[in-house]
Structure 1
Amino acid sequence: MEGGGNLDAAIESLLNVEKQMRLAGDVSGTKKAVTDILQLCFEARAWKTLNDQIMLLSKRRGQLKQAVTVMVQQAMQYIGETPDIETKIELIQTLNSVSAGKIYVEIERARLIKELAKIKEEQGFIAEAADLMQEIAVETFGAMAKTEKIAFILEQVRLCLDRKDYVRAQILSRKISPRVFDADTSKEKKKLKEGENIVEEAPADIPSLLELKRIYYELLIRYYTHSNDYLEICRSYKAIYEIPSVKENPAQWIPVLRKICWYLVLSPHDPMQSSLLNSTLEDKNLSEIPHFRLLLKQLITMEVIQWTALWNAFKDEFENEKNMLGGPLVEKAAEDLRQRVIEHNILVISKYYSRITLKRLADLLCLSVQEAEKHLSDMVVSKALVAKIDRPMGVVSFQTAKDSNDILNLWAVNLEKLLDLVEKICHQIHKETMVHKAALKV
């Protein structure tokens, strides 16, 4: 095969054999002829001829599906042997064009696109790599392994985040249900066949399901960090914290648990935040970081928190997060932490006071009257609190306005209590009277 003429002659001979086998409908013979042609081109390192033969063989009249499949699979093994990046890209593009629109080689095409996108990313063309990956909808591939599907979609999400396309990243991430990570993999192996569809084994470089779970939630953290959605960031860290490999290693779970505590404190007060706060406080591992247990305890205690004292106590811990696993907190975290402390203090004050002057409220919050009024108004608008401000009088009322039905119900309850008390008093008077009558008879 040293001379080009010998190669061409050998290929021509094999093409005649391939034609006879194809017309005769001999599947195994056609596959053998096709693979032999590709092997000759590869051994001669004739990359251009290899590309030409792949295109030629795929377009021959009545070409068998099995022959196209085996040809694409064999040529994919040669991608790693190409002498330079240009040859590699050309071979991938040839195989991509051959497999386009053919369901029986859809998995191979997805892997080719992933390989091409990786090359584009290494060259610095992240937007182009993201566009390439978005062409493939692997969630519709019935024969692809579940872990490979998830890994492919996660790669799509990552590239969208890298190009700062957060809307598309969110849409793609919703293709993965969090419940899929809790599936029992041992049972799944027994269900590899459904009808005639055989699920292929995932390649060796695809991570395990639990590792994919971690990657999934780390990508979600990147997405939610962009929108400063602290509660969702906290829930994502909580999911990572529940992974067995993380929970067994203190070097991994301590930084994650610290992040859970910080983002719980940063989250606005609502039922979900309150539920997560109480469940985290019940975690025995929290005793390993007592400073954070104290921080969470302050949030559930109905007492006013002094911001200056809190910040002085936790400033060093806050700064240390930059050096911990998972990176620093978001940029405006310190400002939002102060906001959460003020909101907590206003909620505490509303529990103890039905009416309070704005000046007294501002003193308790260590703010100016204008700042106190602004924070209170923001909480009322977000429906975290019910309050009314009488600005001319400078008085805040935390009492809820009652409609006529509530007033009547309250009156009826009070009247019922009054009648119960009258009945008890009559009973006591009657009892005392009977006792005294008995004493006089004696």
Structure 2
Amino acid sequence: MESRLVQLSSLGQKDKGPAFIALVHEIIARPDQSAVAQDIHALVDFVVNQESVGLVVGRQVLSELVKVLGEGQIADPEIRKRVVKDTIDTTQPKIVSFEEQVSTLRFQLADILEEEEEWSEAARVLMGISLDSGQRCVDSEKMRVYVRIVRLLLEDEDSVQAETYFNRAQLLVHSANDKEILLQFKLCQARISDYSRKFLEAASRYHELSYVAEIDEEERRHMLMAAVTCAVLAPAGPNRSRVLASLYRDERTAELPTYNILSKMFFDHILRSAEIKEFEATLKPHQLAKIAISSNDRLASATHDDDLTSSSEPAASTRTGPTTVLDRAVMEHNLLASSKIYNNITFRGLGALLDLAPGAAETMARKMIEQGRLRGSIDQVDRLIWFQGNREEDDAQGKAGGLGEVVETEDTGAPFTKRWDAQIRVTAANVESIVQHLTGRGLVKTGTVHG
């Protein structure tokens, strides 16, 4: 091969290009493909590094090789992958002279690696493309590459590096007109919010994408399920309640395996361990991430618990806080749900409900009250948490969101009076219903009462 290359380099400048190109086709067309990679390496190394060949001829030969490789004329995928990778490595020192050809080869190598599900390796190959040079200064092309890198990195759950390239793509989103790229960008945005534990934002974006008609129906179903999962994992409070209401109103969620936990969370029902275990099986690894308890929270829990050691009540839990993202979401939800049931609750009682130490339960309630996610107050002398009577207001907000009609009620004064009156009305209505049922079946006879 070396003597053949030297012989071709001695030809006239006009004849060199066609001669080397003919040699490329000759090597690839051989019936025995075992030496193709070795001979192509020798050819590329010669035309790139030998001054006698010239830059113009070198570009012509490389362009032809890139075209041949792109057309798949090398049938064996392993040989093709080796040739592409070796050509990139050989040409890389002269990247300034052969930038366009090397960039095209990198796209080809990324395609090969993506087919083999080598996601991170494919992303690193694309990262090596110089997008800031004069030859590739089109913003839409840059964004396409950045979005592809983000998508590949997220496949391997490398959310930290993916966010870096997502931020670069975000600066160019204004210049994108391709619907497919914009949809991929929005999906990456939702997935990065998911990985960053911004679950409310992720749920909203997933839900929005689940309505896009251009996306395959099965993919839309996956996005809807992801929206429900993120809504369940989101911090309990008014914002999550609005997202849950939006998802609960969506008729498609009734067909999802996570519909049971969605409905229970929407209606503020307390979740049981069996339901949590079933939901946990549907989560991805990053959604089961461990969370650390701050030293201040651990100290506060221990301090309060020391004061309760003399209590005659049964031994309380010793857990000082949630251990996973799901654990925290469920505890906060159950705390919010208990505020709809009780007027007040002791630290120990709340700890028993949440499977937390009494001090840790008080710490969680305090944080939620401070953040405006729970309405109530804490009496540390009596070790009580008082919940504000806002159930009627919450019901009205839910109904105004499209779940029913808002019924105006008479203002009877304090919130506890409203609650008491409502309980009396419900009890009286239930008694009346029972009496009518028994009367209809002839089990109760109505008559005049004589004094």
Q: Shared topology, TM-score over 0.5?
A: yes
- In structure 2, relative to structure 1, the CA distance for the partners of 1:334 and 1:397 (3 Å cut) is closer
8 Å contact from structure 1 (residues 121, 129) kept in 2: yes
8 Å contact from structure 1 (residues 134, 156) kept in 2: yes
Among candidates 134, 149, 152, match of residue 145 of structure 2? 152
Q: Secondary structure of the residue that 2:24 maps to in structure 1? A: helix
Report matched runs for 1:9-408 at 5 Å.
Answer: 9-15=7-13, 17=14, 33=15, 35-45=17-27, 46-47=39-40, 48-56=42-50, 60=54, 70-79=60-69, 84=79, 87-98=83-94, 100-101=95-96, 106-116=99-109, 131-138=124-131, 149-157=142-150, 160=153, 166-177=159-170, 180=173, 185=178, 209-210=179-180, 213-214=183-184, 217=187, 221=191, 223=192, 226-246=195-215, 249=217, 251-269=218-236, 272-289=239-256, 292=259, 295-301=261-267, 305-308=269-272, 311-312=273-274, 316=278, 318=279, 321=282, 330=288, 332=324, 334-345=326-337, 348=340, 353=343, 358=347, 369-380=358-369, 382-385=371-374, 387-396=376-385
Q: Secondary structure of the residue that 1:175 maps to in structure 2? A: helix
- In structure 2, relative to structure 1, the CA distance for the partners of 1:68 and 1:321 (3 Å cut) is same
8 Å contact from structure 1 (residues 34, 57) kept in 2: no
The 1-side partners of 2:232 and 2:108 are apart by 42
- In structure 2, relative to structure 1, the CA distance for the partners of 1:274 and 1:59 (3 Å cut) is farther
Residues 246-273 of structure 1: per-residue CA shift (max 9 Å, x gap): 4x63x44444323322321221135653
The 1-side partners of 2:353 and 2:374 are apart by 17
Q: Which amino acid aligns with 1:101?
A: V
State the Cα distance separating 1:101 from its structure 2 match. Answer: 2.8
Q: Which amino acid aligns with 1:91?
A: T
State the Cα distance separating 1:291 from its structure 2 match. Answer: 7.3
State the Cα distance separating 1:397 from its structure 2 match. Answer: 5.1
The 2-side partners of 1:6 and 1:154 are apart by 45
Task: Please state which structure has a larger fraction of its residues in helix.
Answer: 1
Structure-2-length-normalised TM-score: 0.56
Q: Structure 2: where are the runs of 5+ without partners?
A: 28-38, 290-323, 389-451
The 1-side partners of 2:87 and 2:122 are apart by 17
State the Cα distance separating 1:286 from its structure 2 match. Answer: 3.4
Q: Secondary structure of the residue that 1:138 maps to in structure 2? A: coil
Q: Secondary structure of the residue that 1:260 maps to in structure 2? A: helix
State the Cα distance separating 1:168 from its structure 2 match. Answer: 2.4
The 1-side partners of 2:105 and 2:20 are apart by 18
The 2-side partners of 1:243 and 1:35 are apart by 51
The 2-side partners of 1:210 and 1:130 are apart by 19
Structure-1-length-normalised TM-score: 0.57
State the Cα distance separating 1:298 from its structure 2 match. Answer: 4.3
Q: Which amino acid aligns with 1:169?
A: A
- In structure 2, relative to structure 1, the CA distance for the partners of 1:228 and 1:313 (3 Å cut) is same
Q: Structure 1: where are the runs of 5+ without partners?
A: 18-32, 186-208, 400-442
- In structure 2, relative to structure 1, the CA distance for the partners of 1:377 and 1:142 (3 Å cut) is farther
8 Å contact from structure 1 (residues 343, 379) kept in 2: no
Residues 76-95 of structure 1: per-residue CA shift (max 9 Å, x gap): 13445578465543323234
8 Å contact from structure 1 (residues 358, 394) kept in 2: yes
Structure number, greater radius of gyration:
1
The 2-side partners of 1:10 and 1:371 are apart by 81
8 Å contact from structure 1 (residues 41, 50) kept in 2: no
- In structure 2, relative to structure 1, the CA distance for the partners of 1:262 and 1:6 (3 Å cut) is closer
State the Cα distance separating 1:52 from its structure 2 match. Answer: 0.8
The 1-side partners of 2:213 and 2:171 are apart by 16
The 2-side partners of 1:344 and 1:182 are apart by 44
The 2-side partners of 1:37 and 1:217 are apart by 49
The 2-side partners of 1:291 and 1:163 are apart by 25
Residues 212-253 of structure 1: per-residue CA shift (max 9 Å, x gap): 8358736963x555544433442453354233244x63x444
The 2-side partners of 1:288 and 1:162 are apart by 27
8 Å contact from structure 1 (residues 55, 94) kept in 2: no
The 2-side partners of 1:120 and 1:291 are apart by 35
The 2-side partners of 1:89 and 1:179 are apart by 30
Q: Secondary structure of the residue that 1:136 maps to in structure 2? A: coil
The 1-side partners of 2:19 and 2:358 are apart by 85
The 2-side partners of 1:375 and 1:165 are apart by 31
> Relative to structure 2, which stretch is displaced further, 34-43 or 224-233?
224-233
The 2-side partners of 1:58 and 1:252 are apart by 56
The 1-side partners of 2:12 and 2:126 are apart by 36
- In structure 2, relative to structure 1, the CA distance for the partners of 1:90 and 1:6 (3 Å cut) is closer
- After superposition, the CA RMSD in angstroms is 4.8
* Number of equivalent positions: 336
- In structure 2, relative to structure 1, the CA distance for the partners of 1:77 and 1:163 (3 Å cut) is same
The 1-side partners of 2:181 and 2:368 are apart by 40
The 2-side partners of 1:133 and 1:394 are apart by 59
- In structure 2, relative to structure 1, the CA distance for the partners of 1:36 and 1:129 (3 Å cut) is same
Q: Which amino acid aligns with 1:74?
A: E
- In structure 2, relative to structure 1, the CA distance for the partners of 1:162 and 1:264 (3 Å cut) is closer
8 Å contact from structure 2 (residues 45, 90) kept in 1: yes
